[in-house]
Structure 1
């Protein structure tokens, strides 16, 4: 099995990059670490932590999503409910709540989910956001638990990855691998950096 290092980035959409920057960088304090763009397109990345980022594509005709409360069922095509961003400590959670309230973003009350305490809000694009503080001593990764009243047979096979469901694969030999150039390579060129 591959080993994972966290969420490199979540890619969202905005029609107003300036409002998005003011919210994520200036209100929440997440550094703007990459800005890619050309006419009709921008792709900006904000640092959440040392290993995680959130990114936004700016498309000129994009409009804020229809506001949908976190965790409430919807009908029809859907691929996303909300993103939860972890905070270091309990005081950080209360600080985020105060920042959101002060800026008029109407956060929820602090909700106790047992293993996390959370505050819910929406960014200027109506992206549903949860900010979560992990309760000390209650990390479900250390002791996984299934409390669903009607779990499926697949679920009841346990928390660990199950083998035998997918075909075996052969990893491409190093000598045969090709890597294609992407737009983000410009970030590594100091001559292109407008923030010098």
Structure 2
């Protein structure tokens, strides 16, 4: 059984890291916890919650997304609609709304979705954002609910994973044969040789 622990990071794109830092860190209060960079490339990480990060790649030739309302269907290539950040309570939603409007940015009214209350806005890259506060009486994690009036046959099979729809997993190699290749981010690890090179 795979032990999922949530979302490690969401990876977004900006052409203006300064504006992104000013919005996510300075206006919304997400701590900047790591940064990588070289000529023509940056990668910065903002902490949403313990073990949950929002990552931005800075690609100078990128263009901001076309502004698109949250949850409104579109035609053509698409793979993302909006990101929703969970907050503790409605008080947090009102504080975020106050900060956004104080900065001259658009913020929706608070919306009751039954299981969450939500506030909508956009970041400087036109990324649609939702801020969601849980409704205590409705916990979909403890009590999943299917309210589709015309559920797909696959959905009628239940909420838990159903075996038999995929071929068996490939064999997992023994520990002695496993290798993890180095990639971006190894610069964030402190190594003894780094301490020796420091002035």
Name the structure 2 match of 1:50.
Answer: 50
C-alpha deviation, 1:183, in angstroms: 2.1
CA-CA distance at 1:164 after TM superposition: 0.7
Which aligned pairs between 1:54-93 and structure 2 lie closer than 5 A? 54-93=54-93
Contact 1:27/1:99 (8 A) holds in 2: yes
- Unaligned 5+ runs, structure 2: none
Q: Is 2:130 the counterpart of 1:118?
A: no
Query: What residue in structure 2 maps to residue 40 of structure 1?
Result: 40
Tell whether 2:169 aligns with 1:177: no
What is the CA-CA distance between 1:16 and the residue it aligns to?
Answer: 0.2
TM-score normalised according to structure 2 size: 0.93
- Say yes or no: does 1:96 pair with 2:100: no
Secondary structure of residue in 1 paired with 2:109: coil
Tell me the TM-score normalised to structure 1 length: 0.95
Cα distance in 2 between the residues matched to 1:63 and 1:102? 26
Unmatched segments (≥5 aa) in structure 1: none
The residue number in structure 1 matching 2:159 is: 159
Instruction: Give me the whole-angstrom Cα distance separating, in 2, the residues matched to 1:171 and 1:113.
Output: 42
1:133-171 Cα shifts (integer Å, max 9, x gaps) = 011121111111111121111111111111111121222
The alignment partner of 1:154 has SS state of helix
Superposition deviation, residue 67 in structure 1? 0.2
